Amino acid sequence: MFRQHEEQPARHPEALRLVSVRKVYGSGARAADAQQSTRAAQAENQVTALDGVSLSLPAGSFTAVMGPSGSGKSTLLQCAAGLDQPSSGVVVVDGAELVGGSETELTKFRRQRIGFVFQQFNLLPTLTVLQNVTLPLRLAGRRVDRQAAVRVLEEVGLGERLGYRPAELSGGQQQRVAIARALVTNPRVLFGDEPTGALDTRSARIVLDLLRRAVRDYGQTVVMVTHDPVAASYADSVLFLADGRLAGRLERPTAEAVAERMAHLGDEVLAAPAPGQSYGGSGGPWQPVNQGV
Amino acid sequence: MFTLALRSLRFRVGAFAASFLSTLLGATVLMSFASMLDTAAGDHVDAASEETLGTMATVVGGWGLLLVVFAVSSTLTLAVRQRAQEMALLKSVGATPAQLRRMVVGEALVVSTSAALLAVAPAMLGGRGLLAVLKETGQVNEEIDYAFGATGLSMGLGITFAAAVLAAFLGARRATAMRARDALTDAQLANPPMGLARRIGAVLLLLVGASQGVVTMTVMNGEGSDAMQTAGTASITFALGLALLAPLLVRTVGAVLTAPLRWFAGTSGYLTAHNVRRRTQQLANALMPVILFTGISFGTLYMQAVENDATDAAGLTKSTEDKNIELLNFVVIGMIALFACIMLINTLVATTTFRTREFGQQRLVGATPGQVLGTVGLEGLVLACSGIGFGSLAGLVTLIPFTIARTDRVVPDVGPAMYGGIVAVALLVTLASCVLTARRSLRTPAMEVVSAA
Ligand SMILES: Nc1ncnc2c1ncn2[C@@H]1O[C@H](COP(=O)(O)OP(=O)(O)OP(=O)(O)O)[C@@H](O)[C@H]1O
Ligand SMILES: [Mg+2]
């Protein structure tokens, strides 16, 4: 279902590897072309969002990334997915190193290997459900296999809504379209940045089940950021991030174990913030864990 | 609400720049010509000079009025509509429609008053220059002194003011009539059907334009330069009619071009075909100025060229009145062309900027910057070419009848160079506005653009 029946080159056993990845905001080229005063001001006080993260994820694994707000989860995901470039360090996806380059080069790298699901869906409002799903193939100049796209949409439970526009769907349905769109290119790694963050409990569960099924049944590799211990418990393992560093790992997580670990992580971070680091403007140093799902 | 208006002005200088600029230009032109009335009231003015000055003031002033209303209302309406979401937010926190209307009208008042006051100095210079040209060509008495007085000032300020307030009321009514929820869910995509009044107006204008063409060919045939009166307005009226029909024209173009675009232009063509059909309203707003620009400059410039050739061929020299008419023709089309360009640039820059998020989403799905620019460029090309096509049609409504009336030919014996120039300007302005704006919006990383909203 999630697979296209095209000939697949063999997969690398290691889907994702990060070596000493650092990301410093407010420095280098980005600061130079900063135009807005807010960004110029940020150039003054640099933020180390990722501080030497190394990790290795095998193909077919389902990993959740957790950590306090501002700990660098989104930054980690974007660097690993080629949406942003690390300040230093190495990112290897499916055996291919992501080497820095123009946006065009990064885009071409991503097209071959990466699917991304966002909290805010990011479906194109003028396109129908089916058109949204086939768009990545068109953009990549690949053959558009309509049947395959329809099959993926059927698999996510939207076979009846092919001609709908995003505005005519609920949030949960839109996120399922986004997942179908990410899967249709048959990516080596599927990333999700709080994919259930904007959904109610029931829709979130459907989305998480879909992701788990993609991993279990079809060997898809999934990396998902979440704030929700229950969502994290769908994964095979949880990586904890604090202050831009890996701060622990939990295998075969349960929601309770995750929540407990997060509470301690919050304590540690509150007690001893690393010098020169901010906890991010998005929230307080620590946001209460969402209950539910 | 007035403080709110001031504050929103300060934070949205860009959105109001076009309104400000077109008001400034409009008020300058208006007052330059209106000051001819002040000048005519001075010493050393003989009857002929007075008549020339009066004609200048009223003919150009009349056109200026129309243009100011048109340009100010279109730029202001756009500035208001771009903020449908902000309006909706204000509404959802309890602002009443009346409060919002007061805010929008307040903004318009500040913009138009400052623009009109700033226009006084350039208008004095402009008026002086105009008088110098009139003297040089011997159309008015050498001794006349330039005057800028109450008439020029009050006409300029009054008209600009009235136009701005009227435009603001119309724009605000639309924006505030929207229910809060509708505005919050993708106000941009609305493709409202054309109103009945608009359809009727369009058909009437087309009919009047066409009949002016017919009158030129029949009644005015052999009447010499007088044929310019009916011929000149024919293309203007016809172009206005087509401009009103713009949404329909965009839909037609979209339907016709869908297949070839998909076939020949790859992914960009696919997206372009899509956008042309889904973003009818925005494209129509941009199509209008292209039609007006092309139609009116093509019609008027070629008509004047045919007229000059015909005068030469008859071995005549130009009378003062001929020179008057020629100058007026050039001033009027110059003004219209300038306003059309401002409107075009404003519309394209605003709508393209508004699509920054959409571009970001395309980039995240795997569109390279080149593909985004390619799609935007292709859309611009479709837009410019359809505008040029329809505009040329309007121009022909002047040109063919006038050539028949004035010469023994149907197709005028004037080279294609001027037409090439008009086409080049239309293409260049359209493509540069959208592609450069899109390029600027691509400079921000896609993630940032998408999560900012
Ligand atoms: N574009 C940017 N420019 C400057 N600083 C940034 C930028 N994006 C993120 N940061 C900073 O980097 C740090 C990590 O941010 P990141 O978005 O990765 O956190 P997060 O763990 O995803 O937080 P949340 O749970 O709130 O989404 C924060 O201190 C944030 O302020
Ligand atoms: Mg985040």
Which class for A22: exposed (0-12), middle (13-18), buried (19 or more C-beta within 10 A)? middle
- Give the one of B267, B361, B364 whose C-beta lies nearest to A138's C-beta: B267
Is the CB of B267 less than 8 angstroms away from the CB of A103? no
Predicted confidence at residue A191, as pLDDT, reads: 95
Which stretches within A64-219 are classed as H helix?
Answer: 73-80, 103-113, 129-139, 146-155, 171-183, 201-218
With beta carbons less than 8 A apart as the criterion, state whether B340 and B292 touch.
Answer: yes
Interface of B with A (CB under 8 A): 185-186, 189, 266-267, 270, 274-275, 278-279, 358, 361-371, 442-443, 445-447, 450-451, 453
Residue bearing the CA closest to ligand 1, atom 29? A280
Amino acid, single-letter form, for residue B135:
K
Beta bridge partner(s), residue A246: A241
Q: Supply angle C-alpha A217, A222, A226, rounded to 5.
A: 125
Atom of ligand 1 nearest to the CA of A42: 4
Of A38, A47, A84, the residue with max ligand 1 atoms within 8 A of its CB, to mutate for a pocket test, comes to A47
Q: Supply angle C-alpha A97, A99, A104, rounded to 5.
A: 120
With beta carbons less than 8 A apart as the criterion, state whether B240 and B205 touch.
Answer: yes
Band of residue A264 on the pLDDT scale cut at 50, 70, 90: confident
A interface mutation test: which of B351, B356, B365, B450 has the most A CBs within 10 A? B365
- Cα separation, B245 vs B288, in Å, equals 9
Write the pLDDT tens digit of every residue in B384-412: 999 999 999 999 999 999 998 888 888 88
Predicted confidence at residue A289, as pLDDT, reads: 38
- DSSP characters over B361-409: HHHHHT--HHHHHHHHHHHHHHHHHHHHHHHHHHHHHHHHHHHHHHSS-
Tokens of B141: 């008495």
Torsion of CA B361, B363, B366, B372, to 10 degrees: 110
Residue for token pair 């135009």: A35
Q: How far, in Å, is the centroid of ligand 2 from the Cα of B106?
A: 40
Q: How far, in Å, is the centroid of ligand 2 from the Cα of A282?
A: 8
DSSP assignment, residue A26?
T
Query: Does residue B5 register a pLDDT over 70?
Result: no
Q: For residue A28, give how far its alpha carbon lies from the nearest alpha carbon of chain B (Å).
A: 15
Sign of torsion over alpha carbons A232, A237, A243, A244: negative
Atom of ligand 1 nearest to the CA of A244: 14
- Cα separation, B178 vs A148, in Å, equals 41
CA A91 to each of CA A15, A30, A56, A106, B268: distance values in angstroms, whole numbers, following the listed order? 11, 20, 10, 12, 31
Is the CB of A140 less than 8 angstroms away from the CB of B443? no
- Give the one of B266, B361, B369 whose C-beta lies nearest to A124's C-beta: B361
If you average pLDDT over each of B12-16, B295-299, B350-354, which comes out highest? B295-299
- Cα separation, A137 vs A277, in Å, equals 41
Band of residue B15 on the pLDDT scale cut at 50, 70, 90: low
Cβ contacts of B453 within 8 Å, gap of 6 or more? A120, B357
Predicted confidence at residue B338, as pLDDT, reads: 83
CA A127 to each of CA A122, A199, B344, B381, B410: distance values in angstroms, whole numbers, following the listed order? 12, 22, 26, 22, 48
B223 or B198: whose pLDDT is higher? B198
Is the CB of B365 less than 8 angstroms away from the CB of A124? yes
Least confident among B93-107, B134-148, B303-317, B348-362: B93-107
Ligand 1 binding pocket includes A27 (Cβ within 6 Å): no
B89 or A101: whose pLDDT is higher? A101
Residue B251 in 3-state DSSP? Answer: helix
- Give the one of A111, A120, A122 whose C-beta lies nearest to B366's C-beta: A111
Measured between its terminal Cα atoms, the distance across chain B in Å is 25
Predicted confidence at residue B118, as pLDDT, reads: 92
- Cα separation, A243 vs A49, in Å, equals 7
With beta carbons less than 8 A apart as the criterion, state whether B220 and B230 touch.
Answer: yes
Which stretches within B41-60 are classed as H helix?
Answer: 47-55
Torsion of CA B359, B361, B362, B368, to 10 degrees: 80
Predicted confidence at residue B181, as pLDDT, reads: 47
Predicted confidence at residue B396, as pLDDT, reads: 94
Average pLDDT over residues A276-288: 36
Residue bearing the CA closest to ligand 1, atom 3? A25
Is the CB of A136 less than 8 angstroms away from the CB of B366? yes
A97 or B314: whose pLDDT is higher? A97
Is the CB of B446 less than 8 angstroms away from the CB of A83? yes
Average pLDDT over residues B347-368: 88
Q: How far, in Å, is the centroid of ligand 2 from the Cα of A74?
A: 4
Average pLDDT over residues B8-17: 62
- Cα separation, A226 vs A247, in Å, equals 16
Ligand 1 binding pocket includes A46 (Cβ within 6 Å): no
**What residue ranges define each of the domains in chain A, with the CATH number in brackets?**
14-280 (3.40.50.300)
Q: How far, in Å, is the centroid of ligand 1 from the Cα of A70?
A: 5
Is the CB of B361 less than 8 angstroms away from the CB of A126? no
CA B135 to each of CA A123, B247, B333: distance values in angstroms, whole numbers, following the listed order? 64, 46, 22
- Cα separation, B167 vs B98, in Å, equals 16
Q: How far, in Å, is the centroid of ligand 1 from the Cα of A227?
A: 14
Q: How far, in Å, is the centroid of ligand 2 from the Cα of B409?
A: 72
- Give the one of A107, A126, A167 whose C-beta lies nearest to B363's C-beta: A107
Sign of torsion over alpha carbons B131, B132, B136, B142: positive
Band of residue A292 on the pLDDT scale cut at 50, 70, 90: very low
Ligand 1 binding pocket includes A49 (Cβ within 6 Å): yes
Ligand 1 binding pocket includes A70 (Cβ within 6 Å): yes
Ligand 1 binding pocket includes A280 (Cβ within 6 Å): yes
B166 or B303: whose pLDDT is higher? B303
Band of residue B43 on the pLDDT scale cut at 50, 70, 90: confident
How high is the mean pLDDT of chain B? 83
Q: Which of A93, A128, A130 is nearest to A113 (CA)?
A: A93
- Cα separation, A227 vs A87, in Å, equals 26
Query: Does residue A186 register a pLDDT over 80?
Result: yes
